[in-house]
Structure 1
Amino acid sequence: MKAEIIAVGTELLLGQIVNTNAQYLSQELAALGIDVYFQTVVGDNKERLKEAIRQAQGRADVLVFSGGIGPTQDDLTKDAIAEVLGRDLRNDRPAMDKIAEFFADRGVPMTDNNKRQALVIDGCTPLPNATGLAVGVAISDEAGHHYIVLPGPPSELKPMFEAEAKPWLLHQVLTDEMPLYSRILKFAGIGESALEDKLLDLIDAQTDPTIAPYAKEGEVAIRLSTKAHDIQEADKKLTALEVQIQSRLPQHMYASEDVAIEETIVKMMADLGLTVSAAESCTGGMVMESLTTVPGSAAMLRGGIVCYSNEMKEKLLNVPHDYLEGEDAPGAVSREVVEVLAEQIRMITDTDYGLSVTGVAGPGYSERKPVGLVYIGISERGSETEVFELRIKGNRDTVRKRSTKTLLYRLWLRLLQAEKQD
């Protein structure tokens, strides 16, 4: 079954707000086994909206609308659908009573335009709005198309879809459809193209389950999807494919659920009873911030130092002055300095691991060194300190984020070794 999402609102076209509803609805419809083939954005113009509806009727079975059902004259979604279907609009009595009660409780007169929020299309199933006033609509036509009309604010759209629209789809539309089950595999230390190359034969031969790679800053994921009668059947198929993928990329696949690598690290370190600290220069505390967003991180993160200036590197972390300044000094952005930082922060805080990072985030050169040159270090109690040189392309924010993710990835690899020895 195919779907099209139609977002209504001139503010979307002007870029005044971001269409997060489309992302949410696409994910929810996919989970129901409904394939979203098109997403359309239409301004507050009834004729253009009617044209979009007719186009969608020619290529989708389910049309899901967001926005355009408020109290003002430019809220025209229900009007346009009713005209295309040749049906009348009427007031939904429960919705009208809720609106009247809302204004009465506040002692404010209700203007006539607010009554528009109670309008529904003849023959529809009204979708009550638990967090707002505008009632939604679910309706099917004689040609086999199904329409769901939802409010624009995400705080209203999401509860309405979950509590009202999804049950309607399951009981009225998807009676013969198998649900779609998905599993997310997460990877670090490898780019999207390199990951795809390792799995190209599986991707080319995919039928069921399907494989869909996608990436965001510093990490890559694969979504495995299959249609099945129940969760047990789906798990069997998804696990068989996951095992194949994991066997090819054991040094990169860190989770079989949609979690960030820092969440995996916190759990691993807590389970192993290990601790960590960090000395950060160019990332300015981003490594520690990433870890502290995870509940339970207090058990493994002792603390750290943001040593942005040379003075702080020397004064707080005992970096030799000759490393930082002088004609023959390697400079703050160097292997020598990042090694000292990792070892000193580990000893000062008495942790199992000391992490460090120093580099040139940009926008300009520093110490006559190029933007994107970064050194990261990992000092482990009883082991030799590791230092890695990174050459990162991108702006200041990209350099800092990728440095953080790469350092966390290198820590994860060390923890894998610790798990095997435990």
Structure 2
Amino acid sequence: MNAEIIAVGTELLLGQIANTNAQFLSIVLARIGINVFYHSVVGDNQARLIEVIETANKRSDLIIFTGGLGPTKDDLTKETVASVLSLRLAEDSNVLNKIDSYFKRQNRQMTENNRKQALVIEGSTVLQNDFGTAPGIALSKNDRIYMLFPGPPSELKPMFNNYGRPFLLEQLEIKEHIESRVLKFFGIGESQLETEVLDLIDAQSNPTIAPLIEDGEATLRLTAKDLSFEKATKMLDEVERAIQNRVGQYFYGYNGSTLYKEVFELLKTKKMTVSSAESLTGGGFANELTNFAGSSSVFKGSIVCYDTEVKRNILKVPNDVIAAHGVVSQECAQYMAENVRQLLNTDIGISFTGVAGPDKQEGKPVGTVFVGIAINGKKTKIFTLNLAGSRSGIRTKSVKYGYFHLLKILSRI
């Protein structure tokens, strides 16, 4: 069964609200084996809605509408769908009684236009609204299924889970599981990642492999479909192994994880503490780590050493090192990392120094960055980065590279 989701509401087109309903429905439909191939958004205009419905009728088996079921004149989804299908609307006494009861519980007077919400398409199944007044509607016509849901997510989500999903499961002759897994990578571009696994992408139909890019990171979404959840999961495991064998050195986590979260969790697991000395990043490393509740157990503090005098007087970077190599150097990064670790008495010290722009510094081009990681009892590691982009982008990438390299080092301890 191939599905299409049509969101109705001018406020969506104006950007006043986000279309989170489509995201929710795509996720839950995938779990019961229904492919979602199209998302459409149309304003509160009957002529344009008719065009969208006629297009959907040519390409989709299941057409789901969200929004436009309210009591006002611009709520026209139900009327338009009924018109396209040559079906009439009839007042449902049970729905009307529930609407009336809803208003009485709220100690409010039901206005006459609310009776409009009690109109349902003839021959349809009414989907009860436990958190509002407008009911949903589900029906089959011309070998297609049409489902209409109210726009507010607080009403749509429970309605789908409690009534819409059971209705759909009854229509499905074969109940497949669609399982997805997102692999997250850093330090490799999307095009290079795709090139490394291109033959796997070309050879796969189930599972499928889809490269994506998000916040400057590359990801691969793996999707498997099978009647058995266990078999679908096994298929994902097999294709992931093949991918990890090729680009595992760039891999850091799954699904909704972040570099910051992975480092935070690993620091907790290993019972290690970290401190940071930050020049060009201006406290960016510290900011990301302290976003997590409980970060005080792993993070002692940061010294934002933007000015050379702070590097010299607080972090004790030797004058001769600064004179010989400059503050944007491997040598300076090493002293910053080692000394902040000692000053704040942590297991790990991490440092960031570089040129974010807009101009060169000490003859070094914009994007030159050095990250130092000093761990008690181990040789300090220095990572040289040559980054491109805006000033803000270079700063953000520097922080992410710091987290990525720290994650890889922690994983080996």
TM-score clears 0.5: yes
Distance in 1 between residues matched to 2:307 and 2:166, nearest whole Å: 58
Q: Aligned AA for 2:396?
A: K
Distance in 2 between residues matched to 1:396 and 1:24, nearest whole Å: 36
- Please state whether the residue corresponding to 1:338 is helix, strand or coil: helix
- Please state whether the residue corresponding to 2:78 is helix, strand or coil: helix
- Give the superposition deviation at 1:221: 2.0
Normalising by structure 1, what TM-score? 0.88
Distance in 2 between residues matched to 1:66 and 1:393, nearest whole Å: 42
Aligned to 1:195, which of 190, 193, 196? 193
* 2:388 is the counterpart of 1:381: no
Q: Deviations over 1:183-210 (max 9, x none)?
A: 2222222121111111111111112211
User: 1:330 matched to which residue of 2?
Assistant: 326
Residue 211 to residue 309, structure 1, CA distance change in 2 (3 Å):
same
Aligned to 1:398, which of 382, 393, 396? 393
Residue 27 to residue 370, structure 1, CA distance change in 2 (3 Å):
farther
Q: Deviations over 1:5-26 (max 9, x none)?
A: 1111122223333333333322
- Give the superposition deviation at 1:266: 2.6
User: 2:359 matched to which residue of 1?
Assistant: 365
Q: Aligned AA for 1:241?
A: V
Distance in 1 between residues matched to 2:314 and 2:89, nearest whole Å: 72
* 2:96 is the counterpart of 1:88: no
- Give the superposition deviation at 1:361: 3.9
Distance in 2 between residues matched to 1:74 and 1:185, nearest whole Å: 43
- Give the superposition deviation at 1:315: 4.5
Normalising by structure 2, what TM-score? 0.90
User: 1:292 matched to which residue of 2?
Assistant: 290
Distance in 2 between residues matched to 1:349 and 1:397, nearest whole Å: 28
Identity over aligned residues, as a percent? Answer: 46
- Give the superposition deviation at 1:399: 2.5
User: 2:217 matched to which residue of 1?
Assistant: 219
Conserved 8 A contact 2:325-2:331 = no
Q: Aligned AA for 1:409?
A: F
Residue 388 to residue 7, structure 1, CA distance change in 2 (3 Å):
same
Q: Aligned AA for 1:330?
A: G
Residue 153 to residue 373, structure 1, CA distance change in 2 (3 Å):
farther
User: 2:252 matched to which residue of 1?
Assistant: 254
Q: Let me know the Cα RMSD of the aligned residues.
A: 2.6
Conserved 8 A contact 1:185-1:258 = no
Q: Aligned AA for 1:414?
A: I
- Give the superposition deviation at 1:314: 4.2
Residue 401 to residue 151, structure 1, CA distance change in 2 (3 Å):
farther
Distance in 1 between residues matched to 2:20 and 2:391, nearest whole Å: 26
Conserved 8 A contact 1:92-1:126 = no
Residue 46 to residue 257, structure 1, CA distance change in 2 (3 Å):
closer
User: 2:241 matched to which residue of 1?
Assistant: 243
* 2:397 is the counterpart of 1:416: no
Q: Deviations over 1:295-343 (max 9, x none)?
A: 554432233233344454445433456767x8x7724x44343333222
Distance in 2 between residues matched to 1:134 and 1:370, nearest whole Å: 61
Conserved 8 A contact 1:346-1:353 = yes
> Aligned pairs, how many?
412
- Give the superposition deviation at 1:269: 2.5
Q: Aligned AA for 1:399?
A: I
User: 1:154 matched to which residue of 2?
Assistant: 153
Residue 397 to residue 160, structure 1, CA distance change in 2 (3 Å):
farther
Q: Which moved more, 1:240-249 or 1:196-205?
A: 240-249
- Please state whether the residue corresponding to 2:340 is helix, strand or coil: helix
User: 2:68 matched to which residue of 1?
Assistant: 68
Q: Which moved more, 1:11-20 or 1:365-374?
A: 365-374
User: 1:351 matched to which residue of 2?
Assistant: 346
- Please state whether the residue corresponding to 2:174 is helix, strand or coil: coil
